[in-house]
Structure 1
Amino acid sequence: MRKTILISFIFLALYGVSLQDIVIKPGEEGTEVLLSLDGHVSYTDFTIGEKIVLDLLEVTSAFDGAAFEVGRGGVKTITLSPVPSANLLRVVITGEAAYTYTVNMVDGGVLLVLNTGQKDFEEWRASGSSYNPPPREEKVAVPEDHSALISLDLENADLLTVLRSIADYAGMNLVVGEGIKGNVTVRLVNVPWERALSLILKSKGYTYIIEGNVIRVGTGEQFAKEREARELAEPLVRKVYRLEFAKPKELEGIIKPILSKRGTINIDERTNSLIVTDIDSRQREVEELISLLDTETPQVEIQVKVVDIDRDVVQELGIDWSVVNLTFGDVAGSAVRGAPVERGEYSGIALNLATLRSFAKLTSIIT
C-alpha cells in the first residue's frame, strides 16, 4: 500500500496539470480552440506546413492520449501524444490549410485562435467525441535548418524539461552536464530554435555545443577543462612555415596566443621561417592565420620628371622685357632690356610691368 501511495505522489509531482477537454467553436476572429486545463502551464508552439504543434510541459491528458477526427472550423484532426522523453504532452492540430494563428494563456487553459475565415459551424468537444488509439509518440518532421522558428511561453518551468522539449522539436539528441538545473520564465514568439536555446541557457549562465545531431549543455568552465584534457591527449606535430613577404619576428607575437599550452614557436632568420610545434587542430589555425598575414605590401609608384634649367634658359622662355609709357614724376619715356637708362637727379625709375587680377600692380625700381 505504501508503494502505491509513493508512486502516485511521484506521478502527480511530474504531471501536476491535466488536460481536461478540448473545445472548438466559432469566434469573432476565426476558429477558437480551447485546451481546457486544471492549472497554469508552460508551452512551446511551432508550425510544420498545415500542422500546429503545441507542446504542453509537464501535462498529462484525461484522455490518455487520443486521435480525434474533427472535420469543422477548418480543423481536420487533433492528436494528443505523450512524449515521456521530454516530460510533455504534444498536441498536433492539423488544419485544412496552413493557417496563421495566435496562442495565449487564458482562464481555464490555453486558447488558440486560427485565422480560418470560418464562423458558421457547430461547436465540437473532445469529451463528447469518439477517438482512435493514439500513437505512442507523435513524430513531427522538423526542417534540419537551425533557423526553424519556435515560440515559447514559460513560467517558472523546469530547465531540463524545456531543454528536452527544444531538443525534441529540433530532432536532436541531448546531453546535459552535471549540475545543470533551475527554472526559467521566458516568452519568445517566432524565433529560431537555436537562438531560443542560446537565450535560455545564457539567462542561467550556461552554454552549449552542437556536435553533429547532439546538443551538449554545460558551463563554460566544464567545456574549457574538457578541451584542455582533450588537447593534452593529442600528439604534437611540428611544421615549418616559410614566409614569403612577412618577417618571422612580426608574426611571432600574433601566433603565440592561439597555441595550446604545449605549443611552441621558434624563428629561423636564415630561411625566413617559423617553426611551430603544437597539436593538429592548432596547426590548422596557425596555417590559416599565416595565409592571411603573409601577403605582399601594396606598392605606390611615383613618377618624377627633372628639368635642368639655368638663368639664360629662363631669359629665353618667351618673356619680352621691353617697357613703354615709362613715367616717374615729370619723366616720361620707354625702356628696353639691355639699353642704358639715365638716372639723372632722381633716386630711381618706376617700371609698370603688369596689372594683375584684383587690380594689383607689379612695379620695379631701377636704381
Structure 2
Amino acid sequence: MYKDVLWLHRISRVLLVAVALVTVNTAIAGPLLYDVRYNPLLKGETELQLVFDEELTLEPKVQVFNSPARIEMFFDTAELEVGLNDVAVNQAGISNVTNVLTDSGLKVTVNLDRLKIYETEVHNNLVSIRVSDNPLTESENEDVVMDSGDVSGNYINRIQSIDFRRGEKGEAKVLVFLQDTQAAIEVHESGGKIYADFHHTDILDDLLYELDVLDFGTVVSNIETFKEDGLSRVVIEPNAQFTFTYQQIDNILTLTVEKDETQNAYLDGGVEYQGRPMTLNFQDISVRAALQIIAGYNDFNLVTSDSVTGNITLRLDGVPWDQALDVVLRIKGLDKRMDGSILMVAPAEELAAREAKDLKAKQQVEDLEPLYSEYIRLNYAKAENFADLLKTDRNSIITARGSVSVDQRTNTLLVKDTVKSIENIRRMIETLDIPVQQVVIESRMVTVRDNVTEDLGVRWGFSDQGSSVGISGSLEGAEGIYNATSTSNAPSISDRLNVNLPISNPAASIGLHIAKLANGTLIDLELSALEEENKGEIIASPRIIAANQQKARIEQGTEIPYTESASSGATTVSFKKAVLSLEVTPHITPDNKVILDLIITQDTRGDTVQT
C-alpha cells in the first residue's frame, strides 16, 4: 500500500511539472505560421498569403535584396508549423518561399528571379504580399505601386536626405532617409569602399555631392552619391581597416562602420557569395550529414570520398549556401569540384593528387597522339609573322612534337601537329588574321623666316653770314660762308650740314633747299627712309598611310659624306642624312578617333669642322 501511494505521488509530481511546462510554453509562444498560399491576380500580379493561427500585434520587418533577388520578412517571437520550411510557387517569377526559425523569431524569404515591385499588408492573422511580374514602366507603376507619393517613372522609392553622425563609441553612422519603406538595398564592399546600391530608387539632385567627413574623427573620411540607370548609389570611403553592419527600420537605412581591430588575414574577404541564404544550427553533426543538408538545399547530387570523416558544430543564420559550404570545407581541410549538378567533396590533397594524375595521363595520351598536316592560307597578315608567333619559347601553341613552316609565295602556313593543336591555331588565325584599320595622314610643314629692317635718316643745315661771323655745319663751311661774297661761291652741301645722320644705301630720299634768303641765309633739308623685308617659306605637304599601331615614316633630303678614321689609321667614308622627315604612329580608338605620336625633323648641313 505504501508503495502504491509513493508511486501515485511520483506520477502527480510529473504531471504537475508537465502542466507547468505546458503553461510556460503557452505563455511565451508567439503566433504560429501554419499555411502559405498563393493566388494569381490580374495585371500580372501574384498574391502570397502567410496565415497565422492568431492576430499579429507587430508589423514584420521587411528587407529587399537584389543579389540574389529576394524579399525577407522577420516576425519576432513567431513559430513555424512543422513541414512548412519550403513552399514551391513557380508563379510570376516567384520560385519558392522558405521559412526558417531563428533565435529572434521567424524569417520568411520570398525568392524571386529578379527585382520586382511589391506591396505588403497585415490584416488580423493574415499577411498579404502582392508581387508584380510586370516590367517597371511608368504606366504600370501608377497601378501597382501604392502610397509612393511623388515617386513616378521607373522608380519605386526616393532618397530624401542623407545624414552622417558619430556614435557613442566613435563609430561612423550613415543614415539614409527614404520616402517609403519599399526599398531594394544591396550593400557590399569592393576595393576598400562600401557601396550601398538602392535599386529602382530615385535621388534628389541636391543630394548628388561629395561630402568630406574627416573632421568627425571616425573611420570614414568621405561619402559620395551617384545616380545611374535606375540606381542610386552611396559610396562610403573608409581610411583604415573596417567592418560594417546595416539595418533598415521603417524608411531609414542605418549603415554603421567601425574600425576593425581584429582583422584576420586568413579570411579572404574578396570572395563575393551569391547563393540563397540558409540557416544551420547543429551540435556535433557529422561532416557528411552537413554536406548532405547543403546539397539537398540546392538539389545537388553529392559524392563524398571515403576520407571525409569527423564531426562539426554549426550555427549559421542567413548565410549564403556557398559560403556555408566553403566554411565547412575549410575547417576540415576539404575541397570541392562541381560537375554539372554533381558536387564532389574530398580532402584537398586527394583532389590535387587525382588531378595531377589525370594531367599526367592526359599528357601521355598527347605524346602518343598521331600528327596531322594542315595548310592554312592567310589573307591579311604575313605568314612568317604568324610562324614566329607560333614558335615562341614561352606559351607556344604548337606541341613539342609539332612543327610549322612558311611558303612566302602563297603566304601559307604549313602546320604539322595534333588535331587539338591545329584547332587552336585555326582559332587564333580567325581572331588575328583580320584587316587592320588604316588612317591617311596629310600634314603641312611650313618654315617661315621674317626679317624686317627699318631705317630713317635726316640731314639738314643752316648757314648764315654776318659782318663778323659765319655759321654753317662745319668749320670749313663756316669759313667759306664768312669769306663768300655771294651764294655762288658758298661751301659745298656736305660742309653746310648741321645734322648729318643719313642711312647707308638708302632706297629713297627727299631733299629740299628750303630757303635762300636775301641776307645770305641758307636752309637745307634731306630725309631718307629704308624699309627692307626678307621673307622666305619652305612648305612641305607629305601624305602618308599608316596602319593602326604601326610606325610609318616619310623623308626627303640628302646624304652628306664624311670620313672616319679607324684606330689602324685607315679612313672610311660614311654618310649622314640631312632630311626633312615625318614619323607617325597612329592609335585608332574604338570610337573612331585617332591618337598620334609625331616626330618631325628638319636637318640642314652645318659648318665644316676640321679635326
Give the TM-score normalised by structure 2. 0.29
Give the TM-score normalised by structure 1. 0.44
* Greater relative contact order (CA < 8 Å, ≥ 6 in sequence): 1
Bigger fraction of residues in strand: 2
